[in-house]
């Protein structure tokens, strides 16, 4: 067994176990942490089969943005764990429907599964020590984005910038009934009238 095959099986097993833990755990924070672990394992699998651009996009988009956003939202909501016993008979129709859909999907992709088993016999994995001199797909995509499609790339970044500024402007509420500090008036005030002596009745 080569090191690539060992890493492929390790990432696959960890991804399956982490996916099961996402569904089975009752703590939402722990589920999101295992979801991040699923994304990291899938990124490792994509890196092994030579799709390094998709692998890094998984890490940047899913792990770096979406999963961390889920984690912050779950931690801010402070969801209480419901310790009431579940009625399994009421969940049986829903579980049976989901199970039927999953088995139908697996049956429709049995040819892909046979192809995957043939890959396990002779795995088509990338040996990165021998690929150092070759042109990676990240370089190819980067050259295309910054040469042939540079105008579209700049336009899309401009649209995202306008959308971000629009979201900030829409969420800012300028209230007129709130007293605010005016620093220039406070600095130019007359110090003679700051302290006032009054007589209190006995």
What is the CATH architecture assignment of 1-80+101-128?
A: Up-down Bundle (1.20)
Region 98-107: mean pLDDT is 82
pLDDT at 108 exceeding the cut of 80: no
pLDDT at 123 exceeding the cut of 60: no
Vertex 113 angle, CA 112 and 116, to 5°: 90
Specify the pLDDT at position 111.
66
pLDDT digits (tens, 9 = 90+) for 42-89: 888 888 877 788 888 888 888 888 888 887 877 777 666 555 666 767
How far apart, in whole angstroms, are the C-alpha atoms of residue 74 and residue 200? 56
Specify the pLDDT at position 17.
92
Q: What angle in degrees, to the nearest 10, is found between the helix axes of 28-48 and 3-24?
A: 160
Domain ranges of the chain: 1-80+101-128, 135-168
pLDDT greater at residue 183 or residue 97: 97
How far apart, in whole angstroms, are the C-alpha atoms of residue 168 and residue 162? 10
Region 94-99: mean pLDDT is 86
Full-model pTM: 0.57
How far apart, in whole angstroms, are the C-alpha atoms of residue 44 and residue 56? 9
Q: What is the CA radius of gyration of the chain?
A: 29
pLDDT at 162 exceeding the cut of 90: yes
Task: Give the CA count within 13 Å in the CB-facing half-sphere of 200.
Answer: 1
Region 186-202: mean pLDDT is 73
């Amino acid at each position: 067994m080569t090191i690539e095959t060992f890493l492929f099986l390790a990432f696959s097993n960890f991804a399956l176990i982490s996916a099961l833990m996402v569904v089975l755990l009752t703590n939402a924070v722990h589920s999101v942490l295992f979801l991040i672990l699923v994304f990291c394992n899938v990124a490792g699998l994509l890196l092994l089969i030579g799709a390094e651009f998709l692998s890094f996009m998984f890490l940047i988009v899913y792990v770096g943005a979406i999963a961390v956003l889920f984690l912050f939202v779950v931690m801010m909501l402070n969801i209480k764990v419901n310790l009431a016993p579940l009625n399994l008979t009421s969940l049986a129709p829903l579980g049976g429907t989901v199970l039927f859909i999953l088995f139908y999907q697996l049956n429709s992709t049995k040819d892909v599964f046979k192809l995957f088993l043939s890959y396990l016999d002779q795995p088509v994995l990338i040996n990165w020590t021998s690929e150092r001199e070759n042109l990676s797909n990240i370089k190819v995509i980067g050259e295309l984005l910054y040469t042939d499609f540079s105008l579209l790339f700049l336009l899309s970044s401009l649209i995202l910038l306008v959308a971000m500024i629009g979201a900030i402007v829409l969420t800012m509420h300028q209230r007129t009934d709130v007293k605010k500090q005016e620093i220039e008036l406070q600095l130019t005030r007359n110090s003679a009238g700051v302290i006032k002596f009054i007589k209190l009745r006995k």
